[in-house]
Structure 1
Amino acid sequence: MSDESREPFKRLFFALNCAPAQRREIAQWRSALQLRNGRPVPAENFHLTLKFLGAVGVAQIAEVCTAAAAIRTPGERLTVVLDRLDVWRRAGALVLAPQQAPPALLRLVYALEQAMLPFGLEQAPREYRPHLTLARDYRAPVPESATTPEFFLRADRFTLFESRKGRYRALAEWPLIDPQ
């Protein structure tokens, strides 16, 4: 067995973080749904994934960060309107998603995908579907809601997170707006 196969790694993903006040607002709205199915995602973990990297060797993280820092960002704050409640049956997830993904978000995701290609981290390419996960192991129809969801996730930076034992920790972040 080579030393490389025993190299320590971290489970990483890029995301737009959710502001604390917005996390509380979304968690309260989710509470009103009175879910009787699935495992609620802790509000402190609410985010909008841009690119899941999976297991990344600790030695590679600095290079991943350098590649992310070189990405040409939208140059403006991103606003994603989470206005659709949906169930992803195969994934067993209850999600908030945008009816329409903003073009600047899709360009950022594409730029991240391109920047991460040299690292060979992705097993199989997937179509990007922006979402915020409300519950996992969800095996029921879309719940009825007294109020239509309409959350404006506003981000002025994107973040590299580590996922460890159900907790997410920010490792690095980059501005979406060019510093003057």
Structure 2
Amino acid sequence: MRLFIALTPPSELRSRLGELADAAHARCGGRRMPDGNLHLTLAFLGEVGDAQASELIDWVSGQTVEPGEWRLDRWGCFRRPGIVWVGGAPDPILSRLQQGVWGTLEALGLGARPARFVPHVTLLRRAVTFERQGLPDVALAWSYNKIALIQSITDDRGARYQALAESQS
């Protein structure tokens, strides 16, 4: 199964991110991410076997996350895959959280941490253009205190995400 560890936004923030996705889609084209798929990836794991998935479910369920607040204040893009996103610099707590998650994952033999962490929420994939002019200003605060282990399920309707476990709050 295809897994990742992420922060999932509370419903009010998810709604606001959806509004930004609508604005970006109208301006940049491409494929808009469904509101239910909006998240901040801390660690992408890719394909994971059932035994390791079970171990990850237990690990995530037993975690307690230090509360933090991430400020989203900019638009960005990864041009080559046509991804349009909103994000911001990681606060120290978010950086420690991401590093701690990767420390555990490496100890479990689940890959190596990426060279850099660009915290962002993907709003569009396969954007035709990236034109910041005319996009609304981004000024959001994301208070978080949990992580989730999420499975990406792909079918004829596209990808949808299902939480397999959440940490304690």
Regarding TM over 0.5, the answer is: yes
Residues 122 and 91 (structure 1), Cα distance of their counterparts in 2 relative to 1, 3 Å cut? farther
Match of 1:82 in 2: 72
Match of 2:17 in 1: 26
Is 1:159–1:171's contact at 8 Å kept on the other side of the alignment? yes
Asked if 1:43 is matched to 2:32, the reply is: no
Superposed displacement of residue 118, structure 1: 3.0
State the alpha-carbon separation in 2 of the partners of residues 72 and 27 from structure 1.
Answer: 28
Asked if 1:60 is matched to 2:52, the reply is: yes
TM-score, normalization by structure 2: 0.86
Matched AA of 1:144: Q
Match of 1:151 in 2: 140
Asked if 1:132 is matched to 2:155, the reply is: no
Alignment root-mean-square deviation, CA: 2.1
Match of 1:15 in 2: 6
State the alpha-carbon separation in 1 of the partners of residues 11 and 42 from structure 2.
Answer: 19
Asked if 1:122 is matched to 2:114, the reply is: no
Residues 19 and 66 (structure 1), Cα distance of their counterparts in 2 relative to 1, 3 Å cut? same
Unaligned runs of at least 5 residues, structure 2: none
Is 2:84–2:127's contact at 8 Å kept on the other side of the alignment? yes
Question: 3-state DSSP class of the match of 2:48?
Answer: strand
Unaligned runs of at least 5 residues, structure 1: 1-9
Superposed displacement of residue 121, structure 1: 2.6
TM-score, normalization by structure 1: 0.81
How many residues in Structure 1 have an aligned counterpart in Structure 2? 164
Match of 1:168 in 2: 161
Superposed displacement of residue 155, structure 1: 1.4
Once the two structures are superposed, residues 41-89 of structure 1 have per-residue CA deviations (whole angstroms, 9 ceiling, x without a partner) of 1111111111111111011112223444565732xx2211111101111
Identity %: 30
Matched AA of 2:87: A
- Pick the aligned partner of 2:130 from 128, 136, 141: 141
Question: 3-state DSSP class of the match of 1:50?
Answer: strand
State the alpha-carbon separation in 1 of the partners of residues 146 and 127 from structure 2.
Answer: 30
Matched AA of 2:96: R
